Amino acid sequence: MHQTVGFIGLGIMGKPMAKNILKAGYSLLVYDVNEEAVKDVVSAGAKRADGAKEIGEKCNVIMTMLPNSPHVEEVILGEDGILNTLPPGSVLIDMSSISPLSSQKIAKALAEKNIAMLDAPVSGGEPKAIDGTLSFMVGGEKVVFDAYKPLLETMGSSVVHCGPIGAGNTTKLANQIIVALNIAAVAEAFTLVSKTGVDSSCVFQAIKGGLAGSTVMNAKVPMMLDGNIEPGFKIDLHIKDLSNALETGHSTGAPLPLTAADMEMMQTLHADGYGQKDHSALSKYYEKISAKPSENDE
C-alpha cells in the first residue's frame, strides 16, 4: 500500500484527479471548502480532513489543485497554512495554474524549512481529468520529479519535466497563450467565411488537414458552428491565465501584444455575461463587432 497523500482542492478538475489517485491504490486525506465535493471523494475511498492544517500534520506528500495564486499562497503560507505543520523532508506538489513568480515565492518559503516543491500545472480540461490522460508540465528539482512522476502518472498520460521551480507554470502560460490566440484566429477566420456566404462546414473540412489545422480547430470549430458555448474551459479561467501571462511578461520584459489583445476580447465577453461560458465564445465577440448597426444607431 502506498503512503497517504494529502489533497487540497476538489473542484471540477481536482475531484476526478483525486479519484484517479485512489484507483491507483494510494490512500488520500482530502480537504475542500465545498462539502459536497468532499463527500463525493470520501465515498470513493478517501478520508476527510477538517482543514489544510490537519493535512500538513498527517501527510508528508501534499497535492494542491486550487483556482489561482492567492488561494495557493493562503493554503500554504497563510496563518492556518500547511507551512506551519509540515515536517522537514516533506514534498508539496502544486497542480494549480498560477503565476510562476508565485510558485517561486512559495518554493523559497518551503525550502527554508527543508520542504521540496514541484509546480505541476495540467492541460486537458475536465474530460482528460476524468479519464486520467492529463498533460503535466512540471518544474522543480529533477530528483524530486523522478520520485513523484509515478504519482502524477496516475492522473496523466504525459508528465514532462520542464526545468526549475516556475518552469511548469511558465510552460502552462505558453500553452494558454497559444490556445487563446488559436481560438481567436479560428473565430476571426470563420467570421470572414460566414460574411462571404461560403459554407463554413465545407471550409472546415477543406483546411483542417493542412497547415492551419490544429487540435484547437478540431475541438472548437464544431462548437462555433453549432452555437455551443457550454464549458469546456471557461472564459473567466482563461482570463485568469492570460492575466498571469501578462504579469509574467511585464516582469521579465517579454512583449505580449497579441495576448493583450486577446485579453481585451475576453474581458468584453466577461462584461457581456459570457464569463462562465466556453472560450469558444470568442466567436460571439466577432458577432458583436461585425453586427450591422440598427437604424436607431445611425
Determine, yes or no, domain membership for 206.
yes
Choose one of 165, 196, 220: the last residue of a domain: 165
Whether residue 148 contacts residue 61, with contact meaning beta carbons closer than 8 Å, is answered with: yes
CATH number of the domain that 212 lies in? 1.10.1040.10
Q: What is the pTM of this model?
A: 0.90
Same structural domain for residues 156 and 180?
Answer: no
Residue 1 has a pLDDT of: 45
Q: Are residues 189 and 85 in the same domain?
A: no
Give me the tens of pLDDT residue by residue for the chain, a chain 298 residues long. Answer: 467 899 999 998 999 999 999 999 999 999 999 999 999 999 999 999 999 989 999 999 999 999 999 999 999 999 889 998 999 999 999 999 999 999 999 999 999 999 999 999 999 888 899 999 999 999 999 999 999 999 999 999 999 999 999 999 999 999 999 999 999 999 999 999 999 999 999 999 999 999 999 999 999 999 999 999 998 889 999 999 999 999 999 999 999 999 999 999 999 999 999 999 999 999 999 999 998 665 445 4
What is the per-residue pLDDT for 125?
Answer: 84
Identified catalytic residue from 172, 220, 240, 284:
172
Q: Answer yes or no: are the C-beta atoms of 275 and 269 closer than 8 Å.
A: yes
Q: Looking at the domain assignment, is residue 136 inside a domain?
A: yes
Q: Do 32 and 144 sit in the same domain of this protein?
A: yes
CATH number at residue 18: 3.40.50.720
36 and 83 in a common domain: yes
Instruction: Give Cβ neighbours of residue 236 (< 8 Å, ≥ 6 apart).
Output: 270, 275, 276
32 is in which domain, residue-wise? Answer: 4-165
Give the list of residues 6+ apart from residue 140 with CB closer than 8 angstroms, or none. Answer: 107, 116, 117, 118, 119, 120, 161, 164, 165, 168
Q: Is there a domain that residue 295 lies in? A: no
Number of domains in the chain: 2
195 is catalytic: no
pLDDT of residue 291: 85
118 and 177 both lie in a single domain: no
In a domain, 297, yes or no: no
Task: Specify whether 102 is located in the same domain as 244.
Answer: no
CA distance 15 to 172: 20
- Are 140 and 179 members of one domain? no
Q: What is the pLDDT of residue 273?
A: 98
Domain assignment of residue 276, yes or no: yes
Do residues 154 and 23 make contact, with C-beta atoms less than 8 angstroms apart? Answer: yes
